[in-house]
């Protein structure tokens, strides 16, 4: 079975520029908050052999909009609304999220959970 990666949007696929602000940035990319693509993560996605899902707690439309901005058609990806899609994650999948600590219980089910800057093992 193909491995799959689920990548969060805010503070994961995109990183916000304001260093003084350590809070989350919901919808930041369309609210005019300065951001940069997470190039290290995007490089890993380009090397990834499996299926790539870009998901957001902000919903599928937001996930798609940001992915179109930073990934364009450089890789194949599918947008998802995060809260509708947790049940899709299965053992062996990878989840990358700045709020990885909220996902850590998935590890009990064999899911690999990483922070946005962590090396995938």
Shortest distance, position 1 Cβ to Mg ion, whole Å = 27
- The yes or no reply on residue 82 touching Mg ion (CB under 5 A) is no
Count Cβ atoms within 10 A of the Cβ of residue 58 and give its class: 0-12 exposed, 13-18 middle, 19 or more buried. Answer: buried
Could you tell me which residues are beta bridge partners of residue 112? 94
Distance CA 19, CA 44 (A): 24
- Which one of residues 4, 6, 7, 10 is an interface residue with Mg ion (CB under 5 A)? 10
Distance CA 54, CA 62 (A): 10
Binding region for Mg ion (CB under 5 A) out of 6-14, 31-39, 79-87, 101-109: 6-14
- Which one of residues 4, 6, 7, 8 is an interface residue with Mg ion (CB under 5 A)? 8
| Contacts with Mg ion, residue ranges (CB under 5 A) | 8, 10-11, 98
């Amino acid at each position: 079975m193909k491995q799959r990666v689920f990548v969060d949007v805010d503070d994961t696929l995109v990183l916000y520029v304001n260093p003084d602000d350590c809070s989350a940035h919901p919808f930041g990319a369309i609210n005019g908050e300065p951001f940069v693509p997470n190039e290290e993560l995007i490089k890993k996605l380009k090397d990834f052999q499996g299926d790539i899902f870009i998901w957001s707690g902000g919903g599928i439309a937001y996930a798609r909009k940001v992915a179109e901005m930073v990934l364009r058609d450089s890789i194949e990806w599918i947008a998802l609304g995060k809260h509708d899609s947790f049940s899709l994650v299965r053992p062996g999948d990878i989840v990358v999220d700045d709020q990885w600590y909220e996902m850590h219980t998935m590890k009990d089910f064999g899911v690999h959970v990483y922070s946005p800057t962590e090396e995938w093992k």
